[in-house]
Amino acid sequence: MRTRRLIAFASILLAWTMLAAVPSFAAKKEFFAIATGGTGGAYYPLGGILAQALTDKIPDIIVTAQAGNASVANCNLIGNRQIESAFIQNNIAYSAYNGLDDFKGKPVKNLRIIASLYPETIQIVGRADAGIKTIADIKGKRLIPGDRGSGTEIDCKNVLEGLGLSYKDFSSTDWLSFSGASQRLKDKQADVTFTTAGWPTAAITELAMTSDITLIPLDEKTIAALLKKFPFYAKIIIPKGTYRGMDKDVPTITTMAQWAVDANVPEDLVYKLTYALWEKGKFVLRKKGGDADDAPSGAEMMAQIHNTAKQVQLKTALEGVGAVPLHPGAAKYYKEKGMIK
């Protein structure tokens, strides 16, 4: 009887030992995070699907996407080593790395780039009944320049500077997220807001479904002046039909959304992430010479859920890159593809 009890106890002990080994195995998983943006923009859904794609395609890595406060805040998260990577605008990356504008005296020198993803367009949205036909008409209106300290606010300030305006030229100024700004326009508590994001932007799409809005164009003279003063911008056309009631093409300016990373993240890990962003199949199969499966690339998976991501293409991965260095792991991949020396 005692022998049977000892055997039973040993069996239980063995079972507990085996169970205890499970967390030990799970602990070997490497965690990696991407800071995105608010829920009303493109960063948030794209970051979520990219995180899932990378987790599926790379063994022993768990990638998570975290809602963030957009470009300026995301650069600071990397600078303070509070997160491994983030989506940011290339103009904000330039300012952060070189210690300009909001980063004056505190450059983010550990900032590195994995890839440029897609154009981030400055969309200036006004209520249709606010009497705004041209960009000059925004003077004196109730303005929402974006979230305080965001890349959108920086873009708003740049456009205003090009027009010879400042916040003092508006009847009121308030700082809100894309969703918050859209709600204010819907409630007729604001007249005009700036949104820098890939189009169509969810917050603007939802606003246009319930309210009459106008997408305010930038005229050629203003665009020329802005491109001369801020060379990281480029002209772009938002095509008619992008939002309900939009019956004309709208000229404006754009930056590039980029995936940035802390310089301290290991080269091998960043190489795997870059590879999985652009290549089909699971990394372990492709690199060990096995038969590649048909799993889409991270870029292809993003394109399946958001129109903006259809512009995420390898051929434009290095556009707007240069002012901030590539991470060595990303550079290794682009060298293999013959895109850089």
* Same domain (yes/no): 124, 210: yes
Do 277 and 330 fall within a single domain? Answer: yes
Same domain, 140 and 236: yes
Residue 63 lies in a domain: yes
| Confidence at residue 284, expressed as pLDDT on a 0 to 100 scale | 64
So what's the pLDDT on residue 287? Answer: 60
Same domain assignment for residues 109 and 167: no
Residue 185: inside a domain: yes
pLDDT of residue 28: 65
| Angle separating helix axes 267-278 and 43-57, nearest 10 degrees | 110
User: Residues with Cβ < 8 Å from 129, sequence gap 6 or more?
Assistant: 212
pLDDT of res. 184: 95
- In Å, what is the CA distance from 198 to each residue of 26, 40, 42, 82, 156? 37, 11, 6, 26, 16
- Total domains in the chain come to 2
**Structural domain contains residue 245:** yes
- Whether residues 214 and 180 share a domain: the answer is yes
User: Per the structure block, which two tokens stand in for 50?
Assistant: 């990219």
Q: Domain for residue 4, yes or no?
A: no
Element housing 41 (H / E) = none
**Alpha helix locations (H) across the chain?**
2-26, 43-57, 70-79, 90-98, 151-163, 178-186, 202-210, 220-229, 267-278, 283-287, 298-305, 328-336
Is 9 contained in some domain?
Answer: no
Give me the phi and psi of 284, to 5 degrees please.
-65, -35
Q: Counting Cβ atoms within 10 Å, is residue 56 exposed (0-12), middle (13-18) or buried (19+)? A: middle
pLDDT for the residue 84: 97
Per-residue model confidence as pLDDT tens digits over 255-308: 889 999 999 999 999 999 999 999 988 876 666 555 556 789 999 999 998 888
Shared domain check, 307 and 261: yes
Distance CA 170, CA 143 (A): 7
Give the up-direction half-sphere exposure of residue 159: CA atoms within 13 A in the CB hemisphere: 29
Q: Which of 256, 272, 306 is the last residue of a domain?
A: 256
Which residue range(s) make up the domain with 241? 120-256
* Partners of 87 in the β-ladder: 259
pLDDT at 18: 33
Residues 130 and 95 in one domain: no
Per residue in 141-156, pLDDT (tens digit) is 999 999 887 889 989 9
Boundary residue ending a domain (229, 256, 283): 256
Do 48 and 128 lie in one domain? The reply is no
Q: Kindly state whether residues 284 and 299 are assigned to the same domain.
A: yes
Rounded-to-integer distance, Cα 126 and Cα 130, Å: 7
Instruction: Give, in degrees to the nearest 5, the angle at Cα 310 between 78 and 280.
Output: 80
pTM of this prediction? Answer: 0.73
Tell whether 143 and 236 lie within a shared domain: yes
The three-class DSSP label of residue 52 is helix
Q: Which residues of the chain have pLDDT under 50?
A: 1-27
In a domain, 263, yes or no: yes
Residues 164 and 242 in one domain: yes
| CA distances in angstroms from 161 to 92, 218, 226, 230, listed in the order given | 17, 14, 9, 11
CATH of the domain at 212: 3.40.190.10
Q: Report the SS3 class of residue 94.
A: helix
Helix locations, 80-217, DSSP H: 90-98, 151-163, 178-186, 202-210
Does residue 19 form part of some domain? no
Domain assignment present for 22? no
Residue 96 near residue 238 (C-beta atoms within 8 A): no
Q: How many CB atoms lie within 10 A of CB 227?
A: 15
Q: Which of 239, 256, 273 is the last residue of a domain?
A: 256
